[in-house]
Structure 1
Amino acid sequence: MDMLRNRKVQIAGQAVIITALVGGTGAFVALNKSVNLTVDGQSEQVRTFGSSVGDVLAAQGLEVDERDAVQPGADTRIERDMNIVLNTAKDLDLTIDGVPVEEWTTANTVGQALADLGVEAEGAEVSLPLDETLTEDGAAFEVVTPKGVTVVADGEQKVVNATTTTVSEVLAEAGVEVSGEDIVSAPLTSPVTDGQVLDVLRVKSETKAVEEKIEKKTTVKESASLDRGETKVEEKGKDGVREVVYDIRTVDGAEVKKEKVSEKVVAEPVDAVVVKGTRAPEPTPAEDSSTGGGSDSGSSEDSGSSGSGSSGSGSGNSGGTMSKQEIIDMLGGPGTRWYKIVKCESEFNPRAVNQQNRAHFGLFQFKLATWQSVGGKGNPVDASPQEQFKRAKILQEKAGWGQWACA
């Protein structure tokens, strides 16, 4: 009886052990899961007892930096055959169009990194292949992007579309040579940007000899052999010439600096000589036929004659007794200045009145105030031609020929 009981106990114990073993195997199988792990593009299948993505990564000895990209998140619960992707952060020593840039990326290739950074790789020059794999140690590479740059030089515009880095490279691509004095709108070593305009100004320095005129001088001599108011050119004179040497600096053809270096006289100027008459003119026949002299012919008019028709030399009507030819002769005949003035001002009419303003009178078109300033009385049209001529000569001596536009 005791032996049977012990046997049953033994069998029961064995059953417990077997049941325990069977139950443990089920638990082992239930807790050990297979997952697909991809790290920086490299995939493998791993088995884990962990309950979260973070447990799986830790079990593989992977320390996750805050910049790393983990999908799904580290706290995500593990499921059988799930995909876990870890892209680690990689530091980049990058130079874009000659400008150093420190960046980082979780991309796995050079091409992906450029796309991640927003750099257009198409048409660009990249120092590493776009499919080059990036490691956790990062990478150093250069990128030169295509740019359209306008070069303005020598009156022309050239658009350069190329993967050039500096101003000097763009100019070389455009076939524009720059000398030591030329001015470029940006330093030759500076980087260029898309859409930039480069101006090239041509600077030229030269020494130039030019001939310049030396103005002649005019000497005026007085002569009693000519009547007052008459002049004669005794010597025409001649301008001189000097040669002047200049240092000239131009920018795009425009002169910006001019310095005199030397000068010498090639031909001396010759002064002009003008003879001015001082002789009082002799009385004309018309004046002789009057009261006895040119200087007295206006005395009656100066005394206030109204020109009523009396035969005195001061009478206004007495002027009418002179014919046009007599007036011309009184003025010295054609070719004299007085002839030219009277022909222009009044057409030899001693009673002419300006019909536009009715403010200018007689042979010489006096204003009343001017007439009175030279001793005239009343209105010039009431004075004889001789008297008008006398007052005109007084005015010319006081104020010059500029009193008449026709002179």
Structure 2
Amino acid sequence: MDIIVIGAVAGGATVSSQLRRFLPDARITVIGKDSRMGFATCGMPYVLGGLVDSMDSLVSVTPEQFWDKKSIDVRLRHEALEIDRRSRSVLVRNIVTGETETLHYDKLVLSPGGSARNPEIPGSPSIPIFTLRHFGDMVNFEDYLESEKPRRGLVIGGGFIGVELAENFRSLGIITDLIEHNGRIMPIADPDMSGLLEEEMEKNGVTLHLGKEVCSVDSGTVSLDDGTEIEVDFIAAAVGLEPNTRLAEEAGLGIGPTGGIETDPFMRTSDPDIYAIGDAAEGRDWFTGKPKRVPLAWAAHRQAFIAAGHIAGGTTEMDGLLGTSITKLFSLTAGMTGLSEKMLDEENMRYETIVHESRSNAGYYPDNGKLRLKIHYDPDTRAILGAQAVGEKGADKRIDIIATAIRGRLTMDDLAAIEIAYSPAYSSPKDPVNMAGYKSMDRPGQ
């Protein structure tokens, strides 16, 4: 069997490796536009901030290793130009030499990822504007920071990448402003949880401009729509990504309402011989079953396993996405899983909410921190619909427990009954997860 994988980062590297495990005799070819494969895109902000010493440490594997250990042919700096579904072939171009080649496939896996959105910046900026998506983006950005040693920087976008970049710029001593056109940072979270993160950013010297837009850039002066002017040496744009669906669209594959490539529970596209995974693939929401696209690493790796397994004859399905996520922001950690207030309201779903504020572990133990845990649940079935946690310690543990509880279809009453490991260094006799369950009960045995 001839299998071609388009894309060589998280999804592409993982699916090809899984395919080799399931199909030892298949001929597998991976096509990647970047200069590296399998690199950890999530680690890029921490390379720029110096927390990760070397950008090469983000690269987990090389094409030579893939060939030597797995007999997988990885072709970097190559681009898939066209898919011919009738002849089951892909036209591939060597970006370095310009030479083209037509490769045959029996099964094709699309893992093209996404491209960073470039914000519309009116005016005549004469300062560098960076995005952070590909390995080369990080190389260019790090070279600039090391050679120019800028004094002031502007981040456009207050999502995951934006807030992480702001933190890392501050660690370099760069005076940092952040603009978010929504009225708050991390708009995926509930407003009260975003507010905690805003306080943390301001406390650490990040100047926030919320609900604002860039009006113009003249040389190094950025003017906002409220009249504010900011002097900056560079701009880091983190305004989201666009799924790379050109190949799929030109091949006539279905594109869903989220802008991603339509897939079934086995990650097959509208062509049963073509699969799609990762940032460009559209899945389904765990609760509603509606189309949902989660451009995060966990989803890509899980989808890779599902697709590879199905190509090999397996029947495991991708049964829904919770969108579980987490980020570090100075002294705080913020995590979430499932549906937020906004999502629940948009779906017209009835819900009630429990908020529990406590220490992460025993208050008398020296190493403890503040923790705010918020859980939405169905008042009739008491099913858990979503949770968020922000704290100095332990937010990750609680979100992971609740994500597991949702997949296990546990209720708020079950949260009270989970026997969570206790020691003063790690928890409390009644963990915050337990306490949230207890607080949701009107009476014993509810």
TM-score, normalisation: structure 2 = 0.14
Which of the two has higher C-alpha Rg?
1
Higher RCO, Cα 8 Å, sep 6+: 2
